[in-house]
């Protein structure tokens, strides 16, 4: 059984009789499966944990009850893919095309519309409370962090829970959050430098000084 890429080049060969078994072998062998052509493949119940399927073509593939936890599906073509019962925990679907609604339901944990509150961890253990507006663009990958195009700094707390006036980003020392100020409104930055506005997922029960953020 051969696994080919979109250019019809063989990227893995197996004595297995089914594409599902061949793909399982390829994953165990840590084969580079980026761009694999798996359109229409029957992969129901397959163990695809941690598979590198970046840019793979999975259109109309049967992935029902497949274990895709931790899989890299960035840029994958999922048009018509059947994902009922599939485990997508920790899977990276950034840039994937035509993600089925059932898959989105598993990974969507932030409001798709309306305002909400998020928390951002900064340098020296500071925690920033951010108000994300109704008009702000928002997205997230596979982890428990989300991104937004703009947010207002509502409050800042030090590692002891005391209110402070400002805090510096862990990732960009030139970026400072200040109470009452907008944390950004540039769409280009949201696309090119998403880390700048990355915030942990909203959690109404989380305390501002929680170290778990």
pLDDT, one tens digit per residue, over 157-185 is 998 889 999 999 888 888 899 999 987 64
DSSP string covering 120-180: EEBGGG-EEEEEEPTT--EEE-SSSEEEES--EEEEEE-TTS-B-SEEEBSS-TT-EEETT
Residue 9 has pLDDT above 50, yes or no: yes
Select the more confidently predicted residue: 197 or 131.
131
- Domain coordinates in residue numbering, the chain: 1-108, 116-200
Give the pLDDT of residue 199: 40
pTM: 0.55
What is the pLDDT confidence band of residue 110, given thresholds at 50, 70 and 90?
Answer: low
Q: Are 49 and 70 in contact (CB under 8 A)?
A: yes
CA 157 to CA 16: how far, in whole Å? 58
């Amino acid at each position: 059984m051969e696994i080919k890429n979109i250019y019809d080049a063989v990227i893995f060969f197996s004595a297995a009789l089914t594409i599902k078994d061949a793909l399982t072998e390829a994953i165990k062998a840590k084969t580079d499966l980026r761009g694999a052509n798996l359109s229409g493949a029957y992969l129901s119940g397959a163990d695809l944990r941690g598979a590198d399927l970046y840019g793979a073509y999975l259109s109309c593939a049967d992935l029902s009850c497949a274990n895709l936890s931790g899989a890299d599906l960035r840029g994958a073509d999922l048009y018509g893919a059947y994902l009922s019962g599939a485990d997508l925990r920790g899977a990276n679907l950034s840039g994937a095309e035509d993600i089925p609604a059932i898959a989105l339901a598993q990974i969507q944990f932030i409001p798709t519309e309306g305002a909400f509150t998020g928390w951002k961890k900064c340098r020296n253990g500071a925690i920033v409370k951010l108000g994300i507006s109704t008009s702000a663009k928002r997205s997230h990958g596979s982890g428990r962090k989300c991104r937004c195009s703009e947010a207002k700094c509502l409050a800042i707390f030090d590692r002891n829970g005391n209110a402070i006036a400002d805090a510096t980003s862990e990732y960009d020392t030139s970026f400072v959050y200040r109470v009452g100020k907008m944390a950004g409104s540039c769409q280009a930055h949201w696309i090119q430098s998403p880390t700048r506005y990355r915030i942990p997922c909203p959690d109404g029960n989380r305390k501002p000084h929680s170290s778990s953020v």
